[in-house]
Chain A
Amino acid sequence: MSTTTAAQAELEVQARQAVQKSEGYWAGVWKRVRRDKVTMVCAFVLLLMFLVILLAPWITPHDPYQGSMIRRLRPIGTDNHLLGTDELGRDMLTRLIHGGRLSWFMGITPVILAFLIGTTLGVMAGFMGGRVNMMIMRTTDVFYAFPSVLLAIAISGALGTGIMNAILALTVVFIPPIIRVAESVTTGVRNLDFVDAARASGASGFTIVRVHVLGNVLGPIFIYATSLISVCMILASGLSFLGLGTRPPEPEWGLMLNTLRTAIYVQPWVAVLPGACIFVTSLCFNLVSDGLRTAMDVKG
């Protein structure tokens, strides 16, 4: 009886130390991020953008769908229309804010889905090895044989216009690279001593993955996934730009850029505004991802 309690006490101490250690790790990450001015500014910009597009219906001055034939293509700085109006006389500021909702949704959802599916498959391939590994990794090779933009356009082109089709296409595009990263970090962890020790102590494969492997591989995979958001944002808006994602009159940055293309001879600076939004968002996601990578000390 007393040995059990002693062992339990020992385990508790270890657990507490583990918790303290992990708190120390995250505190260190936070300290490093806080010192990184570029990352902090970008994170702040993203947070601000997120809040603005979240509150879009309550803070925008006009209706995003209500146009006016007599107020078409007004320049930036017009009274009552701070950023001018588009080709159908709709308020640009309102549409840019509303448009952010779909652009963000289509830029982030595929990465989240691909992260979930890709991590599952990649960890399975890396941990189980053998035939499972071969099947998963050889299938991944096939998708690597397509340039990513081409694959996205091929799939959503075949499926036809639609937000869900575009998200599906982008998810398929981002699963293979996440599988590769997940597989390579898992293979690295699998051969470490503590995994052998866990196996020797009789832990099942599932427990080993859940307790010992995931904690060590999720960080690098997560960082890699955040670096994909920027690409995904550009691609998602690109699909809408080609007419493959959202349908008019839905406000979305890529689609707005497309419909305003004809206006570049009349109001060039109004026409390029949606693209500037995509650029700023994508740039900030890229820099935040770089900052996190440095702060979390992930190699590769």
Chain B
Amino acid sequence: MFFYLIRRVLYAIPIALAVGFVCFMLVQIAPGDPINAIVPPDAPQELVDQVKRDYGLDQPLPVQFGLWLMKVVQGDLGRSLATGRPVWSDLSSAIGNTLLLAAAASLIGFIIGSVLGGLAGTFRGTWIDKLAVTSAVAGVSIPHYWLGMVLVVIFSVQLNWLPAMGAGPGGSADWAWDWEHLQHLVLPAVTLSVIPMGIVTRTVRGIVAEIMNQEFVTALRGKGLTRWGVFLHVVKNAAPNVLAVMGLQLGYLMGGSILVETVFSWPGTGLLLNSAIFQRDLPILQGTILVLAMFFVALNLFVDLVQTALDPRIKRA
């Protein structure tokens, strides 16, 4: 177990390096010389050469990657081309907002998905099973950015119950746990939750159905255990796998919330990415993608380790 832990952590290092390399290459595949993004097109040649030397752009690509990596490891993601501020200062506040949205969506998706999937797996072939399967397929087939618009039409435009955009008074800077702020979270979180809802429903249904077919469940029933008692046993058996799926979904939502954030003008990483794309602000694009991908790598590692620790049936050496 201990050796597995060490090996798994060590394995994450080359992956993280390779992810860094892909992020580094993003700027290289972008059309045009990266230098044009830093100096104005009519700058004199001496200035261009000077800047090239300062940024290390005259070095061969592997050396450039090394230089870039050194800076990133020290927490220096460069400066935004549009605002001149360090990338990290814009990014740090945006990440908190995205994490809040993704966590809320995961929680909603997890609760509904577990209940629907659990019921469907227990009562196979009944109407509740059909309902669960249908909503799971709909959940993964629906373009969530469109669902967001439909929810805005219904709950903001027609009924006027909930705000259509933003993160409440004061923008992204001051979030508070009161209704004035929370009401802004409702629609984006519900919109984003349909994806994990569909996937969790499918997973839980499959796992529960498989467990219910095992002999120990029959044995538990045979010895006269109540429905509730059997249920607890099933939950205990299903939990590690379901938690693993949910953990990864949180990571997917962190990276995938850009469309929903755009619909609701939610001040997170997605909105940041969106504006970076339009201003061709490559440092912001690169920094945001790097941080989100690293978060995903770390989450993958964490989920793997927690799953191993939780489930005594997984013996990894």
Contacts and interface: CB of A to CB of B under 8 A. Distances in A.
A226 interface: no
B293 A146 contact: yes
Contacts of B142: 279, 282-283
Contacts, number: 136
Contacts of B293: 145-147, 150
Interface stretch (A45-53, A210-218, A230-238): A230-238
B146 A272 contact: yes
A166 to B, nearest CB: 12
B277 A286 contact: no
A261 B265 CA distance: 12
B30 A237 contact: no
Given A146-B293, A150-B292, A264-B152, A158 B285 contact: yes
B199 to A, nearest CB: 12
Interface stretch (A12-20, A63-71, A83-91, A240-248): A240-248
Given A241-B259, A242-B259, A272-B149, A142 B19 contact: yes
Contacts of A231: 140
Contacts of A148: 252, 256
Nearest to A276: B146
Interface in B149-197: 149-150, 152-153, 157-158
B255 A272 contact: no
B140 A145 contact: no
A238 B259 contact: yes
A282 B285 contact: no
A147 B146 contact: no
A282 B143 contact: yes
B19 A147 contact: no
Contacts of B140: 230-231, 286
Nearest to A265: B157
B297 interface: yes
Contacts of A278: 143, 146
A268 B157 contact: yes
B258 interface: yes
Contact of B146 (A154, A243, A257): A257
Interface stretch (B21-29, B45-53, B212-220): B21-29
B289 interface: yes
Interface in B1-51: 15-16, 18-19, 22-23, 26-27, 29-31
Contacts of A243: 277-278
A146 B150 contact: no
A202 B13 CA distance: 44
B124 to A, nearest CB: 15
A146 B258 CA distance: 14
A286 B285 contact: no
Nearest to A266: B157
Interface string A134-160: 000000011101111110011101111
B131 interface: no
Given A158-B27, A268-B158, A283-B141, A275 B146 contact: yes
Given A149-B255, A158-B26, A279 B141 contact: yes
Given A155-B26, A268-B153, A282 B141 contact: yes
B187 to A, nearest CB: 13
Contacts of B274: 242
Interface string A198-239: 000000000000000000000000000000001100100110
Contact of A150 (B18, B137, B289): B289
A147 B252 contact: yes
Interface string B115-142: 0000000000000000000000110111
Most buried by B among A231, A238, A271: A238
18 contacts: A141-B15, A142-B18, A147-B252, A147-B255, A147-B256, A149-B252, A153-B258, A157-B26, A157-B276, A234-B141, A237-B143, A276-B146, A279-B142, A282-B142, A283-B141, A285-B141, A286-B140, A290-B137
The 5 closest A-B pairs by CB, nearest first: A275-B146, A147-B255, A150-B255, A149-B256, A268-B153
Interface of A: 141-143, 145-150, 153-155, 157-160, 230-231, 234, 237-238, 241-244, 254, 257, 261, 264-265, 268-269, 271-272, 274-276, 278-279, 282-283, 285-287, 290
Given A145-B18, A158-B29, 14 more contacts: A146-B296, A148-B252, A150-B258, A150-B293, A154-B285, A234-B144, A238-B145, A257-B145, A257-B149, A264-B157, A268-B158, A272-B153, A278-B143, A283-B141
